[in-house]
Amino acid sequence: MCGIVGYTGFQDAYDIVINGLRRLEYRGYDSAGIVLEDGNNKLEVEKTKGKVDDLVKISEGLKGTSKIGMGHTRWATHGVPSDRNSHPHLSNNNKIALVHNGIIENYDTIKTMLTEKGFTFKSETDTEVLVNLIQYFMDLNSETDFPTAVRYALNEVYGAYAITVMHEDFPGVLVVGRLGSPLAIGIGEKEYFIASDASPFVEFTKEAIYLEEGHMATISLENGVDIRTINDNSKIKPEIQELKLSLEQIEKGGYEHFMLKEIFEQPKSVHDTMRGRLLVDEGVIKMAGIWDHIEKFKNANRIIIIACGTSWHAGLIGEYLIEEYARIPVEVEYASEFRYRNPIITDKDVVIAISQSGETADTMAALKLAKEKGAFIYGICNVVDSSIARITDAGSYTHAGPEIGVASTKAFTAQLTILTLIAFKLGKHNGNLGNADFMSLIAELDAIPKRIEDVLASTNELVQDIAKDFVSTTNFLYLGRGYNYPAALEGALKLKEISYIHAEGYPAAEMKHGPIALIDENMPIVIIAPKKGHYDKIVSNVQEIKARKGKIIAVVNKGDTQVSAMADYVIEIPETSECFSPIVASVPLQLLAYYIAVYRGANVDQPRNLAKSVTVE
């Protein structure tokens, strides 16, 4: 949701900013902009609707001209994607430039006030209001210096923001601030980097400060990093962290798209999620986050899982897992609904938040609400040190590695892996999962990375061929039962978000309560029908579809005959216990969505209107 890059040091700021924006383009990609301080301390701005490549076309002349600057890649909130609405935005006196990620909710009131004072606005953005508010405070009192004016302005706004600001009269200085949107400061040798995540600077330094909520920093080569609280200007001691991220992890590694790379990484990512946790030989699952708070889980009235999108689908499967194996009641809620419906939460509830990015605004707000009401908060995040990871009482990282493709794939299967470990761990502890079953289940779980590897090898080409037949299709149905009902929802979401084909997921039995009306010879139906998991019932559903001439794409176990005989296309996956089948079945569904989208010429890694990290509600 918008990417910010900033730099001051001895290297060419243009290169650092542009390359950094390319790495952050997954966060937003409808427009891009850059501002550099030139040799006369003047601010040079270039910005445009479109991608970073479009920005490069108009800004190459700035290459080699400056050692300090900042840039932005946008995901529109206020105002359509256009040159005018692109960041950086300049103040009326053209002296202050600002890039912003987030939403200033009271921008309208401030805009009215500024308009009355004579300010004018070129864009429809909330950001232009903020940059002019900074100018306003400086104009008001000539004693007010630049960082102070930024602080005054931030104290007037509410909403969510990560900002970086430059001022022509304060050369060599970058001022940053954050509330609700992430911002990291990379500390190099005689250079500083600013970015929405560490990927733009990981090749230059392994040391970073993650700016905390409600903090701002003034950064210059002369005075280093001065961190203050926004509300009362108290000085904060910087906490420098060592980055675990490597450059290799954030590059495509020979794949055409990040999404394909990430689909193929799943044997490794699922293995990494279990590493050090699943100790099959010792017959234990080690999860400090759960173990240290086992009484909370044991005595919980219920577990509430909150999440959005794909993570919400993982949560639904988590419900099946935890209720089956640990027999603890689970409710799964969309974070956006939970936070606004005055939910009943007590200190006997355990709330699990699932979020790949760890920055999703709705999930974060729902968590804060649950925390205020006394619930114990557990996080399942992929991004280390993300905002959600930091406000939870305890949690487990998924360790899937950076997920750059906007459509979530390996993070989803890693979330399922963590939820499986939690369910087995709790079930074993509270006696609902007997030792023999536990041992056999963990041995099977341990082999899941190999199962995924087999599925990738055996289905990749087949699915590629199947995809060719559906390039012009306009609708899809995805059906599954039990554990594979959420897998069907996820399959449908993958297809719609990257191919723009309308797709619906349903529990297979619900089909006859409405969606069956849609079925004719033009409707493809993806049906997940593994042997273990209401197979006989699924057979009846397939017959109902067949009778209405629907085109059946069946995901079945190897050696299946009954469903396969009725299906138009058959994708075979290895047989597993039912609880593992969503992990294995999701892989060919990810491939199906991917190849259909590629054949339709869609931008798979950066689908229209989407962003990787949804930091606005």
**Catalytic residue chosen out of the listed positions 2, 308, 381, 579:** 2
N-terminal to C-terminal alpha carbon distance within the chain: 11
Region for 131 from its dihedrals, namely left if φ exceeds 0, alpha if ψ lies in -120 to 50, beta otherwise: alpha
Task: Calculate helix-pair angle for 52-59, 13-24, nearest 10 degrees.
Answer: 160
> Please, which residue, 249 or 562, has the CB nearer to ligand F6R?
249
**Catalytic residue chosen out of the listed positions 47, 95, 551, 612:** 612
Decide: 155 and 228 in contact? Cβ < 8 Å. no
Q: Tell me whether the omega of the peptide bond preceding residue 88 falls within 30 degrees of 0, making it cis.
A: yes
Is 381 noted as a catalytic residue in this protein? no
> Please, which residue, 574 or 588, has the CB nearer to ligand F6R?
588
Is 612 noted as a catalytic residue in this protein? yes
Q: Smallest distance from the beta carbon of 366 to ligand F6R, in angstroms?
A: 11
> Please, which residue, 131 or 493, has the CB nearer to ligand F6R?
493
Q: Which helix (H) or strand (E) holds 207?
A: strand 207-210
> Please, which residue, 314 or 552, has the CB nearer to ligand F6R?
314
> Please, which residue, 70 or 335, has the CB nearer to ligand F6R?
335
Neighbouring-strand partners of residue 526: 478, 553
Which residue is at the shortest CB distance from ligand F6R?
309
Q: Smallest distance from the beta carbon of 403 to ligand F6R, in angstroms?
A: 8
Q: E strands, 116-199, where?
A: 159-167, 174-179, 184-188, 191-195
Short-list 283, 317, 225, CA closest to 585: 317
Q: Smallest distance from the beta carbon of 208 to ligand F6R, in angstroms?
A: 20
- Chain residues binding ligand F6R by CB under 6 A are 308-311, 355-357, 360, 363, 407-408, 493, 497, 614
Q: Smallest distance from the beta carbon of 498 to ligand F6R, in angstroms?
A: 8
Q: Smallest distance from the beta carbon of 173 to ligand F6R, in angstroms?
A: 33
Q: Smallest distance from the beta carbon of 397 to ligand F6R, in angstroms?
A: 13
> Please, which residue, 85 or 415, has the CB nearer to ligand F6R?
415
Q: Smallest distance from the beta carbon of 360 to ligand F6R, in angstroms?
A: 3
**Nearest 5°: phi and psi at 565?**
-65, -30
> Please, which residue, 154 or 616, has the CB nearer to ligand F6R?
616
Short-list 230, 223, 222, 227, CA closest to 210: 227
Short-list 52, 126, 34, 27, CA closest to 85: 126
Decide: 184 and 211 in contact? Cβ < 8 Å. yes
Distances (CA, A) of 224 to 6, 214, 376: 14, 20, 39
Maximum separation of any 2 CA atoms in the chain, in Å = 82
Angle at 30 between CA 26 and CA 35, to 5 degrees: 90
d(CA 76, CA 59): 21
Residues designated catalytic: 2, 612
